[in-house]
Structure 1
Amino acid sequence: MSGEIKKIDSIKNMAVFQDFRWATSVRDGGNNIAEFKKINIFYGRNYSGKTTLSRIFRALETSLISDKYSSPEFQLSFDGGSTASQNSLTRHGQVVRVFNEDFVRDNLRFIVDDEQTINSFAILGEDNTKLEEEIEKHEAELGGEEDKSGLIGELLGADEKFKRAQKAHGDKSSELEKKLSDKANKAGTGIKHNKAFGDAIYNVTKIKKDISTITKDTYSPPTDEQVGKFHDLLREEPKTEISESSSFNLQYTAITLKAKELLEKKIQASDPIQELLNDAALASWVRTGRGHHQKKRDKCAFCGSDLPEDLWEKLDKHFNQESEELRQALESLLGSIERERARVPNLLKIKNSDFYSNFTADLDSLAEQLSTLSTSYSQSLDSIKEQVEKRRDDIFAPLEFKTPESVEEDLNASRDSYEQLRNESNQFTASLSADQSEARAALRLHEVYTFINDIKYGDECTAIEALNEAMGKAEEDKNTAKEKVDAKREKINELKAQLKDESKGADRVNDYLNNFFGHQSLSLKAIEETPGDASSGYRFEVTRNDKKAFHLSEGECSLIAFCYFMAKLEDIETKGNQPIIWIDDPISSLDANHIFFVYSLINAKIVSPEKYEDGGELKERDRFKQLFVSTHNLDFLKYLKRLPGALAKNKSQYFIINRTEQVSDITLMPRYLKNYVTEFNFLFHQIYKCAHAQIECNENHDCYYNFGNNARKFLEAFLYYKYPNAVEKDDKLARFFGEDALAASLTDRINNEFSHLAGVFERSVLPIDVPEMKTTAAFILRKIQEKDPDQYSALLQSIGEENAQQSGAPDVLPSAGDL
């Protein structure tokens, strides 16, 4: 059933529960963690911690926890996975009702102080049949959780549909979120770990931001070529600044102008020698020979003939100053041409390594262009040179200068292009860091772009949005169904309020006192706060024979308190809401008959289904969601076994609370106690545990500590039934142990001195003689085995040790001589 409590996960710093862990302690024979069922029975001796457990549940009812605990901590788990703790006492959404001493103190102050009153409460009135029929009609329309009928059934169905839609949306969203998370920061493959464009703090939030960027219409993914350039850019290191080229100052214009001037210049010899004028080669030969002979030889070095005396005068008139100056100017021009020609290969040295890789293509194109232009430039210079040499060789014959095609302008343009690339490269150095950051961002966005296309991100988002819309619709339907349920409950409460009658609360308590317990003289009386004005409210007063009662016995206080609690389960806030109920030890100081009546009242008014009419058909429904009952009384425990479903494994669970010194623990109830429910079996088991316990084990201290009481009570019962005849000065221990007088004496001493202080206070502060306890326990078992093997075997069977004698285990029980 939805909302059931499954277990008490932990308790810390609450009285005897210092650090309790359910998963460690409460396990079945298969070592599986046990859980609460619909009916849950706790057995524990007084002061073992039963009331502490009830206070945890009462905290769920009142939303308060006792301030007497120092830093209390606890946690309970509910069906469906929700939890409640000391910090979340109001979120469980369940109706909880707890009977314990705190309930008595808060509601029945008269029991504590006879000058105080008892809180009144209202139950549904019984006189207005029409209103009750209308309430039943609305309750039928409201329906219930058990059969998922009516408006509650619609709400449960809508809630289930919403949970499915919520899960589908959550699963799909988580699936996409996992893909984004892996892409963002998964070791090895995530963007975070990419050395080229990764980000040391890249995460899901950032990849979502990138996705938002690339899904806009303004984003255009880079081409493969651009991606390659981005990677090349990221490999760049800052370059040294490239200096301006200083060797590109072309002399072409000056050379052409000078060549035209000199080639076309006209000169005339003073007294020309016609033969030399007619033969330029001869004139050149003569001119050269003149330099070798004048003022050096009298004879011709070629033929040996004497040189004429007037030869030098004639030659000087032919080769005059004007011609020589022109010749020198032409030679000088040829030198300039040659020098310019020699500069051509080195006009512009382009080193790609000085530039960044993104300039390579432009540099290669420029280098190719320069190579072509340099060739053309050299050819132009050669053409000029040929013309100059021709004039030089025929100095007196002017020539028309033929201007070659000029590439000077193109060369200067190429230089300007180079300078532009150089400046851009130098500027690129300054912006390299920013450009590389942009390249990383572009590559990262391209990676995300590729990723969302691979996973069909758009389709995923569309599917999630559709699931989100379905979830929203399901939530809207659930809220609508809840509003209908709330409105119906509000209507029912409104009708119940019209039937509200506090005087009936006292009548119901009296009904339980009289009909279940036979207390005709003791009753509750509802007294108007303002006599004659029922609207002023009521207070309850305990009366005996119609007079205010004083000096109530402990048993009477217990009966009134419990009947008051049972009647209050029918108050307007509780009835019909299937509460979780905890009843803490309700039979203190009651006689056997009253114990049975307490059980009968629980059976009749809580466990037995409530009958109601639905559309003319008589149906049944549970009055409670879960029931918890704790007790220290074995007789009451025996009665609780009779509750419907109390022995069904799927409906009931039995627990025992064990206290060792100042700390308590909860475990599943032993089979012998659950199945047989007699103190005799329990006491035998304690003696058996003491006889077989390990001395050095701290966990066995409680069986040694309680051995005196346990052995005394067991032997009193055992020996009474074995020797029922009354004999004066009958020493039953001596009769039982026979010739083992020492054993009888030792057992008698332990039974008396360790179950009572026997006037020797110092014994309470001395260590317990563990070996002596263990030996005596073993001897008691041996004697029972000797005296009555059939009964001994039956006792072993009752505590789950039926195979102890057949198992082949060594016999640990001592003989009288061992004592």
Structure 2
Amino acid sequence: MIKRIQFIKNFGVYKNYRHDGALRDFNNKNNIYGWNYSGKTTLSRLFSYCEKKEANFVEFPNLEFEIVLHDGTKITQTNIASFPFNIRVFNSDFIRDNLRFDSEDKKMKGITFDVGENAHLRPLIEANRSYISKAKLKITNNSDSIRQFNEFSASKFTNQARIIKNDHFNSLIEFNKGHLEKLISTKEDAINNIISEEERLTKIKADSISKNDKDKIDIKEYPINLNNLVQKIIVFIGKEPKIAVQEENLDNDSDLYNWVRTGVSLHESKALDNCAFCKEKLKPERVVNLNAYFSNEASILKDESVVLIASINGELEYFEKIEILSKSKNDLNESLQSKFQDLTQEYNTVYDNYSFILKQLKLIIENKVANSLFISQNLPEIDMEPVTILLKWIADVKAVFEEHNQIVENFQSNQNSARDSYKKHLVSKYLIDENYFEFKRKKEIEEKYHRIFNTQIDAKEEENRVYSDQLQSITAGKGELNRFIKLFLKREDIQIEVTPDNHFILKRGNVIAKNLSEGEKTAIAFSHFMVMLDSLQKEGKLLETIVFIDDPISSLDSNHIAQITSLINSFFFRKGIDPDNPSKVIDCFLQLFVSTHNFEFYSFLRDANNIKRKKKIVTPQGANEVPSCNSFFIKKVAVDSSIIENMPSALASYKSEYIYLFSLIYDFYASNCSEQNPNFILMPNAVRRFLEIYTLIKLPGNKGEIDSRISELIGDVNELKILHHFSHFTSFEKTTRHDELILRLPDVIADVFTLLENDMKHYESLCSAINKTVFVIEND
């Protein structure tokens, strides 16, 4: 059970309330009395927080409290979720939350309403329907990326597959949307699949569409004899032949030299006696001299030059008509044709550079013979880079031929590999160019939210099915609700019926009520609360529940107040609960709190048999009976501050609130209306309440305001101007404003006693009831 509230801070009128040590602990049963706006409902809300196991930090962000349980456990705002007991609270919040009205039902011609869980469920159903509608609209309005992405599979992939098949593979392969979709992976893979090198892409495309109709090419060696020639020329130009017979004309003219040498040989071989050129007789001695001339070292050296030049000319002719050039690009695989063609076009430059070196060597030989036959020479420096270029060119051609041969030999596997690469390239480039992966990303985001919305829609629809079933179940229990309403209102003609759409509607007799009074609203809400508790009792859980009831008699008259008191006295205290002692009256709760601003209701509760019944405590010294019900008073000590204290003995001893109010007024006036009087802040409300009861006692038939009844009692109300002014304050908050009126309380109290002096017997009786002497007010 709850033992005490140690402190409350920053919670409505409980700015800084703290248990003063003199306050009694809470008992099994607890009555709490306090005037309007003193803090009763605020206190009940603290119990509601314990019921919900959650404090309202939105409305009260700085709320602090400490509740001490009987085992010493301390519950605060930080650990309220661990509150160990079940609590049920009835207060104005419960009425607001559990009684909800719809607009007037034209068909029923009455106002329909919901009670209890219906009041909670129907808004939940409507909220779920609204959410479902909005969620479906969001799904519809946020599906553009999904629709755009789906166009790929719906049509774009089919069209692109057709282009790849027909335009890129010349219809040599089968390729459709399904083939394309199988090649889709991640964006990173797509980027890596794109072939950016133009040369490689050209080759792969050619390999992909080529036919296997080529023969292998015989790869030969293509030797370069330049180094050998250079070595021979170095030796050649370095020779210095001995001079023998001189033939000046022949020594200085190589053409003549060659012509004469050839002529001598021809004439000897043909046995000619006459010169074939001039027809003159050949002189034998001349032929002998010429043969001697041509057989000496110089002549032999000239013959060597002829051989060297012939070798150079042979090298020139060999590379001018190199066999490679006899090959056509069509002899090669399609993927290599372009490269081979580039090489053949490049060869003219390669050959020209190489032939330039050979021709330079020829000039060196010819210069030796013509100008330096008998003088040794050194070979000048020659740029050999053209040779390196020629060697590379030959190697590049051979590499093309080797690649061609490999393609021919491994045609099918190479083509399959090329086609795979080309397909991936084409598909990946299409996906990147068309922003496929961006559409996919946006589509997946939309689908994610669609899944969330659809999950919520399914959950909300399932909730609504459950709620609808619960509505039918709740309305089916209207009999229990009617039973309590009839008990509260003490009328047999009041009953609740159920509409076809599971709303409630109030009927008075056979007539549908078009409006509900505040008292009827309270009765309906409190009836539902009692139905809830009755359900707990049937489940055996009420005995474990703390119950807090705040002002269940709002807007009800004395007859109804007595009826509710009787119901509380009988509902919460029953026989037949203890199987060992069926006649024993058992408290059907763990702990009970009832608060009210109505002194009559408080008096009924205080004097009810079962509430004032004592409890037996067994101690080592024996069994003792002690009170099981404590009474407390909530008092406003400042405009914005209230405290909880033990019920004042004066109030507890009086049977009437009226006498208690008079005692407060009397004591306040006896203290010279001191602002230090502990009841100073209560006096405006006490005066007004006292005057209200007094004038109604004197004039029960006058239904007007206080001043009209005072005027009827004493005539000219203007004699009591201050009192007249105070009588028009209809709320406690107005009377406690910091204005000039609160400072004139002595005048107000004097007016009260002046009024009572007109009814001395009543005045004297009041003073006698509180054991006080009569004040005599001396008017100026």
- How high is the TM-score relative to the length of structure 1? 0.42
